[in-house]
Structure 1
């Protein structure tokens, strides 16, 4: 990974006035790819600095994982003079990321979210909310787990017949952050044509509903309310965790060709000739009968050896690794997805561009680490 700044977004100036996870994650994506990102923090700092342990140099590992490639400027936005400093930054900025409550903006004398692009016509204003500013849930605060529940994600996660389970990864916040970064890039592209900025309205709720796939579309077309399926897939069979003599294997077989390869490896070729299992549609309809046959076959084999053999032949088969194994994985290190440097330890950059590579140029900032002078642009510092 490049240590210099030759990223695709060099020259783009971002004011990241968001906090906690979705907005900061979006700001980090932009910063990784070359944007100059100034993080605005209250005097108390972004509260996720305290989301630990573990802590590194006074901030949580949680905070550090979504705030690299930024500089921190402290502003008490409850004070008019400090807000004017923010507005001065926006005169120069290309992008504003924020997740303020609408009532907070109004208390500052900002009547609506559209005010920013009205005052700063070239600004890309990415507004991140829980549920949007209007509608039946408009203005409600958004929290990952609560939105998982209200968007149906908890209802389809967990063991079949069991209680709903929160997805362990904050998938709503992270998906919203990705959508926010994508929205910024789309709006920047549109500005090339129109010369004008625009507001991007990105909510946790919309992001969560959008990833309820395939359960939402299945319901819309069938009227059948789905429930938790455990490790099974609603539309694909076999797709499950199977116990072997050694280790459990996750198997995901999406077509008839792969099913035939799996059966050959398990020495149960007769299953492919059974009309009940001849197609994915038939296998879904006869799921229970097929699962009995496969579980018996898997119980007789060495999972480690079979898993490697299946992967070589193109059959999706994976051992279930814990986070320690992933962190120590040779492939994760080869792909630079685990970074361990004197100035930064954390996850790597997943988007790898050949001509304009991403880079980790700055460690996550200490609170207020950047103190621009009154006669200097906040964006004049080194990135």
Structure 2
């Protein structure tokens, strides 16, 4: 694997990571560590490897695109973790590793074989990240969970969808990705503390806990009022108008965050009197009279196209945007200017496009250095102690 070069964005260069995780939360966290320059070895079962390799179609080369999305910049080795030889090889790798990431189901055989207390005693400088579905304690501790289970159990689906429609899961895997990102914060924080103390630690997070943390304003509103929040479609619980509207040829969003912007919106739409109407003059009044205001806005906005409204509103200083599809997102000038889509050569898929790490360092974005590995691609190198 090419080593990060001086002057590149690789703040974690020199950090060695052993990745025993699979599916999305753990692999996305370790891919992020790899993006930041860490040397990551992904350990997979010899028979099939990470299940997401088969989560398709679509496939690109031999693997599903789902796997390809979360495993770049890593090596892949195959080991049977239930065998004595496999366990011995993992401990050999851990002898000079800095981080271990795993998402073993609590109480499972693998969780017992790689118990964090034994790992900490044997490898005192090791930072161990454990990602679970529901956390380290409580009645759901031992239950398995996929992203949608977490979205349902932790409330996200109750907040997503139209008011008169069924609950809907988020378009992104917010349970898995939330756990990955909070896990990444935990690992990097533990590495900073290890620099002071010389000791690693056991870091845990879960899909469930991170969804609770991401409730943010929804949670504080519920704590304050005791009321059960309801689905608002694209609407905002605390701001109006702040949602998607239908124009003559499609949908776009308007985001009004204060009363001055609302007045500008009203003047731009030919509804100047609404800015002084007691039902709408303040944000609190607009939230209380959401339906009446949206009824009038909907009728006015249906008269012109998305492009016309976005141009007009932006010129007036009102935040607005067309709702783009992904093909439009990845061909728009803003995406191109950021240089966030990079290409890398894959052994079986050919040229592979990837969305790179979304943080830059001194103006330099971490590079997509190597393609997601094929199953066991680096077995020989690992056996040679590389």
> Taking structure 1 as the reference length, what is the TM-score of the superposition?
0.92
Distance 1:241-1:3 versus aligned 2 partners, 3 A rule: farther
1:156 corresponds to: 159
| Offset at residue 312 of structure 1 (A) | 4.3
1:364 aligns with 2:368: no
Structure 1 CA distance, aligned partners of 2:116 and 2:382?
A: 28
| Offset at residue 48 of structure 1 (A) | 0.3
1:71 aligns with 2:71: no
Q: Which runs of 5+ in 1 are unaligned?
A: 379-383
1:53 aligns with 2:57: yes
| Offset at residue 287 of structure 1 (A) | 1.3
Q: 2:274 aligns with which of 259, 271, 283?
A: 271
2:101 corresponds to: 97
Choose between structure 1 and 2 for higher RCO, CA contacts under 8 A separated by at least 6 residues: 1
Question: 1:17-28 counterparts in 2 under 5 A?
Answer: 17-28=20-31
1:346 aligns with 2:350: no
| Offset at residue 376 of structure 1 (A) | 4.1
1:283 aligns with 2:286: yes
Question: 1:288-327 counterparts in 2 under 5 A?
Answer: 288-327=291-330
Structure 1 CA distance, aligned partners of 2:116 and 2:26?
A: 16
Structure 1 CA distance, aligned partners of 2:381 and 2:298?
A: 68
Does the 8 A contact of 1:8 with 1:357 survive in 2? no
Question: 1:205-220 counterparts in 2 under 5 A?
Answer: 205-220=208-223
| Offset at residue 103 of structure 1 (A) | 2.7
1:120 aligns with 2:128: no
Structure 2 CA distance, aligned partners of 1:104 and 1:118?
A: 21
Structure 1 CA distance, aligned partners of 2:318 and 2:75?
A: 46
CA deviations 1:168-207 (Å, max 9, x no partner) are: 2111101111111111111111111111111111111101
| Offset at residue 334 of structure 1 (A) | 2.0
Does the 8 A contact of 1:129 with 1:202 survive in 2? yes
Structure 1 CA distance, aligned partners of 2:316 and 2:344?
A: 37
Structure 2 CA distance, aligned partners of 1:37 and 1:271?
A: 58
| Offset at residue 256 of structure 1 (A) | 1.2
Does the 8 A contact of 2:20 with 2:101 survive in 1? yes
RMSD (Å), alpha carbons: 2.0
CA deviations 1:291-320 (Å, max 9, x no partner) are: 122122212333312213323444221111
Does 331-340 or 248-257 show the bigger shift?
331-340
Does the 8 A contact of 1:102 with 1:113 survive in 2? no
Structure 2 CA distance, aligned partners of 1:308 and 1:292?
A: 22
Q: Which runs of 5+ in 2 are unaligned?
A: 346-350
| Offset at residue 253 of structure 1 (A) | 0.9
CA deviations 1:55-107 (Å, max 9, x no partner) are: 12211111111100000011111101210110111111011110112333567
CA deviations 1:262-301 (Å, max 9, x no partner) are: 1122121111111221211111112122112212221233
Structure 2 CA distance, aligned partners of 1:109 and 1:42?
A: 15
SS in 2 for 1:39: strand
Does the 8 A contact of 2:356 with 2:367 survive in 1? no
1:381 corresponds to: none
| Offset at residue 223 of structure 1 (A) | 1.0
Does the 8 A contact of 1:130 with 1:143 survive in 2? yes
How many residue pairs end up in the alignment?
376
> Taking structure 2 as the reference length, what is the TM-score of the superposition?
0.92
CA deviations 1:229-280 (Å, max 9, x no partner) are: 1111111100122122333221111111221221122121111111221211
Structure 2 CA distance, aligned partners of 1:272 and 1:174?
A: 41
